[in-house]
Amino acid sequence: MLRPPYSSLRLLIGVAIATSCALLPHAAMAGMAEAQTYLQQGQHAQALEQVDKVLAANSKDRQARFLKGVILAEMNKLDDAAAVFIKLSEEAPELPEPYNNLAVIYAQQKQYEKARAALEMAIRTHPSYAVAHENLGDLYAKMARQAYDRALQIDAGNSTAQTKLNLIRDIISVSSRPGTTTARTPEKTVLAQNTAASVAKPGVQVIPVAPPPAVTKPVATPQPPVVAATPQKPAKPEPAKLEAPAKSEPVKAEPAKPAKSEPVVEAKDESKAVHAAVNAWASAWSNKEVRAYLNVYAKDFSVPDGKSRSAWEKERTERIDKPGKIKVALADVDIRIKGDQATVRFKQNYTSASFTSSSGKTLIMVQRNGRWQIQQERIGR
């Protein structure tokens, strides 16, 4: 995971490097999609493994190499990541994205002059490349802060330098503050679409990746099912309907009919309850309500990668608290219930200030103390 001091500089992820990307073999496309999903979940080792598989089949695949550079940067292997982006910039000097990411790495290493040169190269290749312009502004702010700090070390009573330094600090804190006071992972990352158009017009394709309304609705609408999840009441009115024909006393055996229909109603109700639990999980994730999000996971949740529950919770807390908004939308939800266990499959559309992905997901849920909780979570349907 990348660290300060470049706080608000943007690292570009998943850009289309060549027009041939759309012609990638199906297996390579699937591998890239899985790698991006692992990256979004913070499972860097798995993401790197998937990219390496794609590169084993085609070592010249620029898109896979670009994504590998991003993963290496996230793993804090900055020299290795820089080497990837340098090679890509040499092979395709007309593309601004490798220059941009190289600048972010240089900024983290406090090589500000190198970072500035890389960003200017990115802008030279595409003058309308908004991300590079913004990064250059942030970089100049950091360089100014460094200069004012030096001025105050020489002359501690320089009130003008102190005022300017405070102003610069305010600018930097605003650009890295997402509504939380922490700045553990302050970089803002942007995902470009995997199309040749994103290379032709990077400034246009990069910024509108995450339109907030598109995701808010699917997550917000499921809230009513939480109320509908106690539909035991509809079950009671059923006998009331049957009491009208009960004029003839002998037909008292008729309550047997409601008994037959009850399991069907119950199954529907449980399906609604499961759906409500899944939507509450997605909503808590979107709203960065960490405690509510973690409470959806059962005590015997199968933690991935053999981690301890506490280590996993700490990692998830840090990722959800990461600067920037998060939007999680679920589509094509399929629920299968067997006893007190439910299998839920859906398409998950995830958008944050740092990443965008769309992938299949499966949740194995169990009923505990009247609540449906996640026992297993895996990628793919």
Question: Does the pLDDT at position 80 exceed 90?
Answer: yes
Spatial contact of 7 and 135, defined as CB atoms under 8 Å apart: no
* Phi, psi angle pair for 270, to nearest 5°: -65, -35
In this predicted model, what pLDDT tens digit does every residue of 89-143 receive, in sequence order?
Answer: 999 888 999 999 999 999 989 899 999 999 999 999 889 888 889 898 888 888 8
Taking residues 156-176, what's their average pLDDT?
71
Q: Does domain 10-209 fall into CATH 1.25.40.10? A: yes
Question: Does the pLDDT at position 316 exceed 70?
Answer: yes
In this predicted model, what pLDDT tens digit does every residue of 1-21 receive, in sequence order?
Answer: 333 333 445 555 534 333 333
Least confident residue range of 69-73, 176-180, 305-309: 176-180
Higher pLDDT, 272 or 257: 272
DSSP 303: -
Question: Does the pLDDT at position 44 exceed 90?
Answer: yes
Beta bridge partners of 356: 351
In this predicted model, what pLDDT tens digit does every residue of 227-247 receive, in sequence order?
Answer: 444 444 444 444 444 344 444
The whole-angstrom separation of Cα 188 and Cα 106 is 16
What pLDDT score does 264 carry? 41
The whole-angstrom separation of Cα 213 and Cα 23 is 32
Given the candidates 3.40.50.720, 3.10.450.50, 3.20.20.60, 1.10.10.10, the CATH classification of the domain at 214-379 is 3.10.450.50
What pLDDT score does 254 carry? 52
Beta bridge partners of 359: 348
Spatial contact of 56 and 78, defined as CB atoms under 8 Å apart: no
What pLDDT score does 163 carry? 82
Least confident residue range of 43-57, 259-273, 298-312: 259-273
Positive or negative torsion for Cα 304, 307, 308, 309:
negative
Spatial contact of 326 and 316, defined as CB atoms under 8 Å apart: no
The whole-angstrom separation of Cα 51 and Cα 63 is 10
DSSP H helical segments within the chain, as ranges?
26-40, 44-57, 62-74, 78-91, 97-108, 112-125, 130-154, 159-176, 197-200, 202-206, 212-220, 224-228, 232-235, 237-243, 256-286, 290-295, 309-320
pLDDT band at 154, cuts 50/70/90?
confident
Least confident residue range of 49-53, 110-114, 255-259: 255-259
Q: What residue segments make up the domains of the chain, in order of their start?
A: 10-209, 214-379
What pLDDT score does 158 carry? 84
The CA R_g of the chain, rounded to the nearest whole Å, is 26
DSSP 296: T
Question: Which tokens go with 79?
Answer: 């020299």
List, as one string, the DSSP characters of 232-272: HHHHTHHHHHHHGGGGSGGGGGTTHHHHHHHHHHHHHHHHH
In this predicted model, what pLDDT tens digit does every residue of 199-230 receive, in sequence order?
Answer: 333 332 332 333 333 333 333 334 444 344 44
Residues 6+ apart with CB under 8 A from 22: 194, 195, 196
Within 10 Å of residue 91's Cβ, how many Cβ atoms?
14
User: In terms of C-beta density within 10 A (0-12 exposed, 13-18 middle, 19 or more buried), how is residue 151 classed?
Assistant: middle
Within 10 Å of residue 213's Cβ, how many Cβ atoms?
7
In this predicted model, what pLDDT tens digit does every residue of 333-365 receive, in sequence order?
Answer: 999 999 889 999 999 998 876 678 888 899 999
DSSP 54: H
The answer to whether the predicted template modeling score (pTM) of the entire model surpasses 0.85 is no
